[in-house]
Structure 1
């Protein structure tokens, strides 16, 4: 769990630094930073999404994953958790937004999955250490724009990646290179959606789409059977 712990601590440290910075800038600059981040995230999401080698798998994964997530209602559970934290933090606004947005961004990427597998199977934490550096920088920027809620995403990341680490032995046999490519593409679509939410173009229930990242594994499994 070393890499996972370092990742969570990097997010916490970056978020605290970002919140301290946020208090020194005017709201209009914070709003502009959110918009700039949203556009950058959308471009990154597109760059990941177009890596798909089979658009049908991408479409099917998003659709099926959304159905699974809607049945579980992951979005509501994330929002309820964010609201719980916000109710415990006096004089703190938008805790839920920062928590949910940062949690989704730090969890849906390929590095979270592959880093967890590498850590669990090999005891090698290189990917998670690299991810820690990137997440730390992003958490500074996010927290400076969206507030203290970003620090709470460390909990989501720790639980999510920790689960992958613990189950790595079971997951690894199903992760052929073509499956990883499609998982990355699905993650890119969700990252693009994060930008849409940040710009308030439309409120997408991205939490309920999280299972879509793992649907290519199921599709790959059934295709091998056929």
Structure 2
């Protein structure tokens, strides 16, 4: 079953988020300390990912063009509207921004990086789910901590994870035929580095240092794909 690893990964995120919400009653000062610790750890993760690139000028170009596109579309606004809709359905209409923050933070942390792509390819091509199950365990523990501090929005990040990894797993054979291995490796490297910048922004937001609209930077990942295609073919 090609989707087994993906489904386990998404399920562990959901379970972790539910456990995290059960811990929401921790004292405020403890929650703030944990939030600061998460912010520092997330920023450090972003720095580590950002250093993956061998062409940082390309990363800068992609993040700038992606940011312009994101601001033009204003993904952050639409995401917050969706979050507020969810909160209304859940009976807490004033907490939409909280859902959005947890959703964006969780999605970026769980989706960006080579582990999800390679794991999904392994699942689709060889029915080998070990890598995705390992990722799921890591994501599950991470979602516990994120949900305890950022709220239930983290749970909904399981949806893009399932869609993203599921599509790759189902079309793994076609992907490997269409995209040369060297181009795929270059894309994963530059996507990881570009995503790392967004994750740094999430860390700084959690620390209260900045108020970056990270959702508006998401088109940068599409720009990376276009840029890598141009570089590889020309």
Residues 65 and 137 (structure 1), Cα distance of their counterparts in 2 relative to 1, 3 Å cut: same
Mapped to 2, the partners of 1:97 and 1:147 lie a distance apart of: 9
Mapped to 2, the partners of 1:66 and 1:170 lie a distance apart of: 30
Q: Which residue of 2 aligns with 1:100?
A: 104
Mapped to 1, the partners of 2:126 and 2:72 lie a distance apart of: 35
TM-score (norm 1): 0.88
Q: Which residue of 1 aligns with 2:8?
A: 6
Mapped to 2, the partners of 1:211 and 1:122 lie a distance apart of: 31
- Gapped runs of 5+ residues in structure 2? none
The correspondence for 1:130, drawn from 125, 129, 134, is: 134
Q: What's the RMSD between the two structures over aligned residues?
A: 2.2
The correspondence for 1:180, drawn from 188, 206, 211, is: 188
Residues 204 and 32 (structure 1), Cα distance of their counterparts in 2 relative to 1, 3 Å cut: same
Mapped to 2, the partners of 1:8 and 1:147 lie a distance apart of: 17
The correspondence for 1:189, drawn from 179, 194, 197, is: 197
- Gapped runs of 5+ residues in structure 1? none
1:86-140: CA deviation from partner (whole Å, max 9, x where unpaired): 1122358433322232222212233233323333333322221111011100011
The correspondence for 2:120, drawn from 106, 116, 138, is: 116
TM-score (norm 2): 0.85
Mapped to 2, the partners of 1:44 and 1:204 lie a distance apart of: 17
SS at match of 1:22: coil
**1:197 and 1:204 in contact (8 A); partners too:** yes
Q: What is the aligned residue count? A: 225
